[in-house]
Structure 1
Amino acid sequence: MTGFRGMRFVMDLIKRFTPKRESLTGNESISDKQPEEVSTSTTLTVFKQHKWSLALGVGAVVLAGAITFSGHQYVEAGMDNVYHVMLDNQEIGIVSDNKIIDAYKLNKPLEVQKSFPNVHVVLKTDGITYTSERAYNKKTDNSSVISSLDELLVPQPVGVALKVDGKTIAIVKDQETVDTILGQVRDPFTPKSKDNAKVAALSTSIGDDISTAPSELEKVEFVQKVDTLEVPINPTELAKPEDVVKSLLTGDVQPAKYTVVEGDCVSCIAKKLGLSKQFIYDNNPGLQDDKLKIGNQLDVTMLKPTLSVKTTEKVVRNQEIQYDTEYVKDDSMRLGVVEPISPGKNGLKKVTIEVTKVDGLMTAEQVVNEEIVDQPVTAKVKKGTKVIKGEGTGKFAWPVISPSISSTFGYRWGKLHKGIDITGNKSIMAADNGKVVETGYKSDYGNYIIINHLNGYETLYGHLSQIIAKSGTIVEKGDKIGIMGSTGDSTGVHLHFEIHSSGNLENPLKYLNR
């Protein structure tokens, strides 16, 4: 504005001191004068007349420039950057520095949270924005803007809803509390650090129980789907973490007892109540080998956890490999006479078993790898040439094509699992030459076959859906003797396979290799 007024002043000066052009007087005419006269006379006259005017004009221009520059400097001195502050696109005031608003957005939520130590509070400052403007002597009021923000922004207490399979179980303070609760639910069923280190191989003792063996944790997860959601709350709605943990673990189920009556057995009670034998043994630690007394009370409290923990663990155990025997026929020796040539030596293999548990109870096991540590040494024996029909070789073949082991040898639920469970092709074959000495049905084995291999070994095949071999007949290794089924005390279609040596139980994995 000042520069514009200065320029107008200069223009007025120039107009005022610039003379008008004079016309020739009388009857004079430029043509009446000599050219030299006209030129010289006119030049002198114009110069004299405008000398003073020109000087005044130049001075006026210089003065105008000085006035314009001074005016510009004066206006610039009064210019500032100011910031229009808005909340949800509505202007609430002007501040002198944007750092005031940046600091407010950063620090105010922390300040509010300190005022509510027992509950998580959200102060939504995302709606605060500002735009800058360069203006002359614009009025700002920092304190008024901050006061307006304090008044308009209302702290909102929030909690985190813990959901299991879409159902809200409880609302707790924050996500950290949820993580602590879930950790407390997982921890009881997760192998401790000492067990989770390098897996110590189990011995080959019959007493080994794979369900409680040292293991390496491969994966831990929840069976149900777990979600969390931040929700507005009334602080009185928050649940106590210890109550949430208890509810998740027990499902708020009340204790239950069962009184043993005449004729009861563990498997009978399990079927009657719809429970597993493992559950009954785990809930009643003093119970061994199916020994029950009439009148005894069993704890059959079936907790129904709201949230179940599934673990996948790896168990490694050492297993002997039975050596083979090579027979050298000698027609100088009578039938049935044997004479050692060189002794045999058992080998050793490392068997890796993947065990699946739900809430600490074993639900599945699978042999996933076998690694030979020491190869067995074959024994050599001199034997008479006359071979008895049906006599076994001492070397066993898998009784199932494409075998897969679903349960290994050892103690289960307080009772010895006498063999291995095998799935695969449904046709059951004789594992070695022998004589079928017994067939029939038992409550635990279902339909079964026993083959005497006439060399100190016997094999048993259980849970068959059909028995093909006849008692008293001679079978050769690989002959079809039955069809796989799920008869007797069985939880699914499979073959229960046992090996006995001189009347003693043996682990079939000692004789069978992949």
Structure 2
Amino acid sequence: MKWTFPERIQFYSTLIAVIGLIVLRGPSAGQAGIVGNVVRHYVEETSAFVTSESIALSDIAATAIYTAGSADFHDHGHGGSEHNLELATVQDNSVQATGPASTTYMDGFKSNQITEYVVQDGDNISFIASDYGVSSDSILWANGLDNPNAISPGQVIRIPPVTGVVHTVQKGDTVEYLAVRYEADQDRIKTFNDLEEEGLEIGDEIVVPGGKIDTTIKKETKSQQRESKQQKRFAYLPDLGEYFRSPTSGFNWGVIHGRNGVDVASACGTPIYAAADGNVALAPATGYNGGFGKFVKLVHPNGTESIYAHMSKVSAKAGVYVSKGDVIGLMGTTGRSTGCHLHFEVHGARNPLVKY
């Protein structure tokens, strides 16, 4: 049957109207609409596809892990080797390894080790100490520093693991000795350093937790050592006994400095006497004179010499012979001097003012 054009128009118009009514009407109670059915069908097919793909991927992963765990292979990274890896099923489509990661690469680490730190721009000892949780003194002691400002960028400094002292074991050292020396606890030293009963090894570094160094005593000891070396330097000279008298009155420091010289402090204007008979070789009344200021130099008959420096006034005249006890000038603070005193030197014999 062949439709005419008007009949085709009428048919398609009626079809479109029916479809429109069905769509606009929607599903009745307990029935799904056409559009709803189409959407539901699409969702169900997509969900089934995703689920099946997930299960397949899980099966592949489980097979790969099982194969790796059964093989005799080694991981040479920080985790070390892993053998016979056990698997536990958490869900139907997932697996979890129950064997923990190896930490054998940390076996060499000890919490009582000394750390080396490279000083950065803007660093200071107090900030570094705060970051590492130790005292500033501990860092100074560990690096042999007296001045906390004596660090510079690029310098490598040692940081002790705790507040305390780092001690290098010497012959005869014992834990008991270290505890007494650094005012620390003997048992704590042993525990912190994992020490055995057989004693300390010479050259080993021992951390003394809570230990202290008396820096005041240390500085005095260094000063005394320097003075002792100076005293010994001129101790070989002959002791002439009463040949020289005291050249002035005041506080005698008794310590050598310069060329066998000793300082005696008193008020400016205190008389200065010739320590022995002699000829006045030099007596400049002005000038810095190498730091001596106004001074007198006597040459004695036995070949020795004596010098009297920092005078405020020179009484002796060059070329004149003076007797022991004659006034040759007055005490002052000329030249390189920080207060009224006499700097008295003896050349060729022991200085009678030295306190050996």
Classify the TM-score, shorter chain. Answer: 0.3 to 0.5
Please state which structure has a larger fraction of its residues in strand: 1
TM-score normalised to the size of structure 1?
0.26
Please state which structure has a larger fraction of its residues in helix: 2
